[in-house]
């Protein structure tokens, strides 16, 4: 009987913490959406000698930004923003499920897989960012060398693959539990 009470108390703690994390993820998702909107407006409308654009490792005056550079920069804002927004969305969904007491379910496994996928997308974005930085430096004839950081691609890729493997293991455990529950 004590084991059941202990398990119920632990589940209630998980639910409580998960509600908080779900709320934080939701807030961060909306902050990212506002940030994407504001960055896009700045890239479209800001001009002047004091305004600067920061694209990855590059920083240059806004007055040097051609239309092509602004379009590329807006594309990067949307691409990076989408990765973050969808990461926070899947975190929100995962912890919402946890807050409802769904721990080892098909829904939680799906959200964990989605998080792994978002990390893999982040690694791809880092590769795209390097290419766009190089292109922008060439377009506006910046006298800088753009450096390629392999860890910026390798780390999210590696963690994303590990998260995918963990999700598959959790899915197999969920299936085994369902089989055992049906047997009893």
Question: What is the span of the domain harbouring residue 68?
Answer: 2-183
Asked whether the beta carbons of 35 and 81 are under 8 A apart, the reply is yes
Structure tokens at 24: 């934080």
Q: How many domains does the chain have?
A: 1
Query: pLDDT in tens for each of the 184 residues of the chain?
Result: 676 677 888 889 999 999 999 999 999 999 999 999 999 998 888 877 678 888 877 888 888 888 888 899 899 999 999 999 999 999 999 999 999 999 889 999 999 999 999 999 999 999 998 888 888 888 888 877 778 888 889 999 999 999 999 999 999 998 988 888 777 6
Element (H, E) at 61: strand 58-61
DSSP state of 46: -
Q: What is the rounded CA–CA span in Å between residue 136 and residue 64?
A: 10
Asked whether the beta carbons of 61 and 52 are under 8 A apart, the reply is yes
Residue from 160, 90, 92 nearest 126 by CA? 160
């Amino acid at each position: 009987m004590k084991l059941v009470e202990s398990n119920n108390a632990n589940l209630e703690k998980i639910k409580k913490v998960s509600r908080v994390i779900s709320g934080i993820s939701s807030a961060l998702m909306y902050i990212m959406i506002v940030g994407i909107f504001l960055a896009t407006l700045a890239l479209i409308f800001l001009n002047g000698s004091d305004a600067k654009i920061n694209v990855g490792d590059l920083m240059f005056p806004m007055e040097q930004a051609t239309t092509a550079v602004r379009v590329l920069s807006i594309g990067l804002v949307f691409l990076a923003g989408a990765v973050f927004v969808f990461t926070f969305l899947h975190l929100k969904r995962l912890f919402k499920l946890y807050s409802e007491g769904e721990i080892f379910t098909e829904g939680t496994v799906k959200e964990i897989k989605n998080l792994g996928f978002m990390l893999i997308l982040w690694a791809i974005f880092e590769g795209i960012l390097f290419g766009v930085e190089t292109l922008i430096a060439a377009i506006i004839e910046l006298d800088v060398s753009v450096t390629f950081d392999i860890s910026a691609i390798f780390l999210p890729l590696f963690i994303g693959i590990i998260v995918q493997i963990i999700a598959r293991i959790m899915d197999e455990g969920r299936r085994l539990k369902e089989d055992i529950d049906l047997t009893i």
